Structure 1
Amino acid sequence: MLHGRTIGFIGSGNMAEAMIRGLLEAKLVTADQIIASDIVEARRQQIHLRYDVETVTEGRDVGLKASILILAVKPQDMEGALHGIAASVDQTKTVISVAAGITIAFIAERLPAGVRIVRAMPNAPALVLAGAAGIAKGEHATAEDLQIAEVIFAAVGKTVVVEEKHLDAVTGLSGSGPAYVFLLIEALTDAGVKVGLARDVAGLLAAQTVLGAAKMVLESGRHPAELKDTVASPGGTTIAGLYALERGGLRGILIEAVEAATSRSRELGRR
């Protein structure tokens, strides 16, 4: 699907680099099929040296060369980025945005009429090729455009297709979710220290436990509640710990966290 296509990145920050790395490691494209822009010379040099891809200063040059454009600038820089590429974008190109809170309508209003736009909400674990992304297609995007986006984001993790109205919820859950899990790992580590473990030992056990539990959910296909019950034997240690978590309201607090982040994403989208 990506054979013979040039993929251009407008912005070469962490997310763009993760996607470049994922595409190359999955052998979906070769380095000469990628071009990336960035206003910072040092960053352009880093990307070129690490991945042997062409780098340029102006997004306009990316727009002229690439048939798939990935908008990977910060939300506050999107206006300027769109202005820079508008003259080099037409209805033959696929435009994919990974900027949080920037709607398809916002992008469409600043590019020529009929441009094919896909909006995506990836998350930080894409940096280690274990991300989760929600993607939604714009009015003029085709089924092939959506498939292109799915292939690209599958190179850095898992992908789900949703309606754009649900991307705020994706942001609240998987976009912000890594921070909740980091906090959980930190708390588990502190707990291990409290009961006598060395901090490095507790940290390793906590992080690996979270990783292993997530793999069990993804690879077994079983409901998390069912897996939980396989660990919690009658009158044992696990059920005692689960009781403490339920008594402390962990489940409700996590739900409230996702709701709060979702609401904030909606607010940012209305700015």
Structure 2
Amino acid sequence: MKLGFIGTGNMASAIMGGIISNNVIPADEIIGADLFAPGRERVQKQFGIHVTDSNIEVAQKAEVIILSVKPQFYADVIKEIAGEIKDSQIIITIAPGKTLAWLEEQFGKQVKIVRTMPNTPAMVGAGMTAASPNAYLSEEEISYVKTLLESFSRVEIIPERLMDVVVSTSGSSPAYVFMMIEAMADAAVSGGMPRPQAYQFAAQAVLGSAKMVLDTGKHPGELKDMVCSPAGTTIEAVRVLEERGFRSAIIEAMKVCEEISKNM
């Protein structure tokens, strides 16, 4: 098998879907392990991959293994599979707070590891993923891992010291954006708009604004100024947001998120 998953939850499903739909690896070359029978049966039915209840079977069969279990289960899973991992295999992790040094210590030997941090928009093929490989991967292997990740996400190779910043900037930030969309929709409903329509207007505005930042390359402040006509409606809304500490609240929330990630 070319690719194995230990854990078949939402993030694993997003990764499987991207890899299979983009013809990076065929379904019959992918195996997923999950102790929860409905979970593994779901991905088998949805994607046509091989499934098992044995983590060791994945470790024995897969060339690349993605550890897609909750961070609190990493130590137990690694202890279970460490003896089966060969020098040629690559381990990809998606757990915040689990450093390369900690992961290598858990395996107790030299293992090729790529620490990554994807985010939930990967579930709709619009994710953002940071990746930090350890010293044992070749450039060719890093390129291969990047190809896997790019099937469901934009990817940046970063120094590991920035990984906790990534957690706050893209890993957790969808929650902040969802809160903003919800608040915008609530305001629209207050103004008389039906709620389904309110979500559509608010979400599309966020999607389009993000696309403008990425596609134009313009500074977000410049794009904001383009919307703010003199004595207009938007500049007054911006004034109120500044008065209420909008930017400061976001910055402070992200700093707390970063600190929590460092201490996980």
TM over 0.5: yes
1:109 aligns with 2:105: yes
Q: Please give the TM-score of this superposition, normalised by the length of structure 1.
A: 0.93
Q: Matched residues in 2 for 1:143 and 1:245: separation?
A: 46
1:215 aligns with 2:211: yes
- In the other structure, the counterpart of 1:60 is 56
User: 1:95 is paired with a residue of what secondary structure?
Assistant: strand
Q: Is there any run of 5+ residues in structure 2 with no aligned partner, and where?
A: none
User: 1:110 is paired with a residue of what secondary structure?
Assistant: helix
Counterpart amino acid of residue 12 in structure 1: T
1:244 aligns with 2:240: yes
Shift of 1:209: 0.7
Q: Matched residues in 1 for 2:65 and 2:115: separation?
A: 12
Shift of 1:139: 2.7
Relative to structure 2, which stretch is displaced further, 30-39 or 136-145?
136-145
For the 8 Å contact 1:9–1:69, the answer to whether it is kept is yes
CA deviations 1:29-50 (Å, max 9, x no partner) are 1111111111111111111111
Q: Matched residues in 2 for 1:117 and 1:36: separation?
A: 19
Shift of 1:149: 2.5
- In the other structure, the counterpart of 1:43 is 39
Q: Is there any run of 5+ residues in structure 1 with no aligned partner, and where?
A: none
For the 8 Å contact 1:12–1:72, the answer to whether it is kept is yes
Shift of 1:157: 1.6
- In the other structure, the counterpart of 1:176 is 172
- In the other structure, the counterpart of 2:79 is 83
Counterpart amino acid of residue 11 in structure 1: G
Identity, in percent, stands at 38
- In the other structure, the counterpart of 2:138 is 142
- In the other structure, the counterpart of 1:186 is 182
Q: How well do the aligned residues superpose, as a CA RMSD in angstroms?
A: 1.3
For the 8 Å contact 1:122–1:133, the answer to whether it is kept is yes
2:263 to 260, 264, 267: 267
CA deviations 1:133-160 (Å, max 9, x no partner) are 1111113222233222221221112111
- Poorly superposed stretches of 4+, deviation over 4 Å: none
Q: Matched residues in 2 for 1:154 and 1:126: separation?
A: 10
Q: Please give the TM-score of this superposition, normalised by the length of structure 2.
A: 0.96
- In the other structure, the counterpart of 1:93 is 89
